[in-house]
A and B are shown apart, each in its own frame.
Chain A
Amino acid sequence: MFFIEINQNFGEHTRLLAPFIGIITIVWLFFIYYSHKKYGTKKTIIYFLPIIIATLFIESAGVASGRYYYSGYIIYLSVVGGAVPLIIILAWSVNLFLCMNMGKHFISKIYQKRNYLQIIFISITAGLFGVCLDLLEDPIAHYNSWWIWEASLNGIKFFEVPILNFIGWFVLIFFMSIATLLIERSRFSENRKVLLSITSISITGTIIFVIHGLIVRLFEFTGLS
């Protein structure tokens, strides 16, 4: 069920893939170092591991469903039949860590109370910031074949990228931020937080799939997809 594949034809059918992989690697290493230095090992695991596991399943299911595919990367992972580049999974952990922390800074300036409402505000901001970045990144990625959306996909598109992709980005970052912040701010021991952050992926993942599925249905019902 789980396999690792090594591709020896790096960059085939793609353009400028090396700089893209380069920036993700640099930023990911920097964030791991920074998070470890500021928060310690356990919190770094809470911030990075759940999103890595969740997106491994989501991306693998996305590829296996035939909506998009990745070519030209070196290391591929697969859990449910779709091969996903390792660097894409790491990029998701960068997205979450970056957008969630920007959301924290932004919301803490306008709403200081540390309560559930603040968690919702931070998560909405993180989701919106993530979508803003993806509106730049995804069309360029598709154009340079870093990942390729099937041309037969219907619905509204933003430079060949289905609009449902951006909604997916928002839903994923929003719910993963909520889960991460709830665990981070809980009063459990650090070890228990690590354990909960991993096991709770099943709950967060189910919510993400249900909400995204409902939005897809709504789009189909209204003829937008």
Chain B
Amino acid sequence: MEKTVIQFILENIMLFLPVGITGIVVTVILFFISKRENIHESEDLKSDFITLFNIRLNIYVLVYLFIWIIIIIIGLSSNFIIPTIIGGIIAAIPLILMTLIELRTKNSKVL
């Protein structure tokens, strides 16, 4: 009979407890004994863009789009039409949001 993952962990607590406690103790010790360096790090998000046919594209959006297209093709070719369409619409939300926010920033820069 299936159990929840939590039930499984509680039944095997003698296995998880030593591993968990060791990890927590080592993390706390490392956190307190480690020196903090005084370096100011800023993130370069601009380099995540590539230009294809004069269109500036975010590399992560492109990869997400690639996965989205392939999974939809697999879903449709396995004759699983309705769930693929519904799932495809939901999974397109991040793509739409990323495109909209990019356009909004682009327009506000022009203004």
Chain A contact residues, CB within 8 Å of chain B = 1, 15-16, 19-20, 23, 27, 30-31, 34, 38, 58, 61-62, 64-67, 80, 98, 101-102, 104-106, 108-110, 114, 128-129, 132-133, 135-137, 139-140, 143-144, 150, 152-153, 159, 185-189, 192, 195-196, 199-203, 205-206, 209, 212-213, 216
Contact = CB atoms under 8 A, between A and B. Distances in A.
A105 B58 contact: yes
B101 A133 contact: no
Interface string B40-69: 011101011000000000111101101110
Contacts of B22: 202
Which of A1, A64, A202 has the most chain B CB atoms inside 10 A of its CB?
Answer: A202
Interface in B2-58: 2-9, 12, 15, 19-24, 26-27, 30-31, 34-39, 41-43, 45, 47-48, 58
Contacts, number: 173
9 contacts: A16-B77, A38-B47, A98-B64, A108-B43, A133-B91, A196-B30, A203-B24, A206-B24, A209-B6
What is the interface of chain B mostly: helix, strand, loop, or mixed? helix
A209 B38 CA distance: 35
Nearest to B80: A143
A206 B20 CA distance: 8
B19 A144 contact: no
Contacts of A139: 80, 83-84, 87
A58 B5 CA distance: 8
A65 B30 contact: no
A187 B36 contact: yes
